[in-house]
Amino acid sequence: MPLASHQTSVPVVVDDAKCIADKGCTVCVDVCPLDVLRISDMTGKAYMAYDECWYCMPCEADCPTGAVTVNIPYLLR
């Protein structure tokens, strides 16, 4: 069966201007219980790669530069 890619608005937003993943920081990726954050090959910044979020906050709380914002997933809002 062929697969389609599915569009979804993701709850975790990273401010590229503040994110220091390109300097080697991986804190948000490391702490996420659901392992849904990744560092982009294109921008070198963190982003939410998988929409599988428990809106639990470690990524936002532990980010050393305040670059991460956790929003409530749209379906719950």
Partner 1 sequence: MALDQIVDGLSEVSCDVLVIGGGTAGPMAALKAKLKNPKANVVLLEKANVKRSGAISMGMDGLNNAVIPGYATPEQYTKEITIANDGIVDQKAVYKYAQNCYSIIEELDSFGIRFLKNENGDYAVKKVHHIGTYVLPMPNGETVKKALYRQLRRARILISNRYMATRLLKSSDGRIAGAISVNTRTAEILVIKAKAVILCMGAAGRLGLPTSGYMFGTYENAANSGDGYSMAYHAGAALANLECYQINPLIKDYNGPACAYVAGPFGAFTANNEGSRFIECDYWSGQMMLEFYNELLSGKGPVFLQLKHLHPDTISEIESTLHKVERPTRGLFQQGRGVDYRNDSIEMHISEIGFCSGHSASGVFVDDNARTTVPGLYAAGDMASVPHNYMLGAFTNGSVAGIDAMEFAENHDFAEFDAQDVARERDRVMAPTKREDGIPPNQVEYKTRRLVNDYLQPPKVTRKYELGMRRLAEARQDMQEHMIARNAHELLRALEVQSIMDCADMAVHASLYREESRWGLYHWRTDFPEKDNANWFCHTLLSKQNGKMTSQKRAVEPYVVPIADDEKDLYDKQRIRATA
What is the binding site for partner 1 (CB under 8 A)? 1, 3, 30-35, 38-39, 41, 49-50, 52-58, 61-62, 70-73, 75-77
Shortest distance, position 13 Cβ to partner 1, whole Å: 13
The residue (of 67 and 70) whose beta carbon lies closer to partner 1 is 70
73 — phi, psi (to 5°)? -55, 140
Shortest distance, position 73 Cβ to partner 1, whole Å: 5
Q: Which residues contact 53 (CB under 8 A, 6 or more apart)?
A: 10, 11, 12, 34, 36, 70, 73
